[in-house]
Amino acid sequence: MTDTLFRIEGRAGRITLNRPDALNALTHDQVLEIEQRLRLWAEDPAVELVVIDGAGERAFCAGGDIQHLYETGRAGDFAYGRRFWADEYRLNALIWNYPKPYVAIMHGFVMGGGVGVSALGSHRIVTDGTQVAMPECGIGLIPDVGGSMLLGCAPGRLGEYLGTTGARMGPGDAIHATFADSYVPADRIEALKDALCEQGVDAIEEFAEPPEKGELQRQQAEIDAHFAGETAMDIVRSLEHEGGPLAADTLKKLRRSAPLSVACAVEAIHRARNLGRIEDALRLEYRFTARCMEHGEFLEGVRAAVIDKDRSPQWAVPTLEALPQVRVSQMLMPLGADELKL
CATH number at residue 129: 3.90.226.10
Which amino acid makes up residue 328?
A: V
Please enumerate in sequence order all residues whose Cβ is within 8 A of that of 6, keeping only pairs 6 or more positions apart, or say none. Answer: 13, 14, 15, 33, 37
Q: What is the pLDDT of residue 243?
A: 76
CB under 8 Å, gap of 24 or more: what pairs does 225-231 form? 226/157, 226/161, 226/250, 227/157, 227/160, 227/161, 228/157, 230/270, 231/263, 231/266, 231/267, 231/325
Measured CA to CA, the distance from residue 149 to residue 41 in angstroms comes to 26
Query: Does the pLDDT at position 27 exceed 90?
Result: yes
CB neighbour burial string for 317-337, b if at least 16 within 10 angstroms, e if fewer: beebeebeeebbeebbeeeee
Q: Is the pLDDT of residue 148 over 90?
A: yes
pLDDT at residue 242 is higher than 90:
no
Structure letter (DSSP) for residue 73: H
- CB-CB contact of 64 with 296 (8 Å): no
Find the mean pLDDT for residues 194-216: 96
Neighbouring C-alpha atoms within 13 Å toward the C-beta of 172: 9
C-alpha closest to that of 225 among 239, 211, 215: 239
3-state secondary structure of 161: helix
Angle at 324 between CA 319 and CA 328, to 5 degrees: 100
Q: What is the mean pLDDT of residues 222-244?
A: 94
Mean pLDDT of the chain: 96
> What is the pTM assigned to this prediction?
0.96
Instruction: Determine how many CB atoms are found less than 10 A away from the CB of residue 229.
Output: 16
Average pLDDT, stretch 185-199?
98
Q: In the predicted model, what is the mean pLDDT of residues 11-40?
A: 97
Name the residue range of residue 16's domain. 4-338
Report the pLDDT value the prediction gives residue 266, as an integer from 0 to 100.
98
Q: Which residues pair with 16 in a beta bridge?
A: 5, 53
Q: What is the pLDDT of residues 51-106, one digit of tens each?
A: 999 999 999 999 988 888 999 999 999 999 999 999 999 999 999 999 999 999 99
The domain total for the chain is 1
3-state secondary structure of 282: helix
- pLDDT tier, 197 (very low <50, low <70, confident <90, very high otherwise): very high
- Summarize the confidence of residues 157-183 as an average pLDDT: 98
State mean pLDDT over 300-326: 95
- Backbone φ and ψ of 4, nearest 5°: -135, 130
Rg, C-alpha atoms of the chain:
19
111 pLDDT band, cuts 50/70/90, is very high
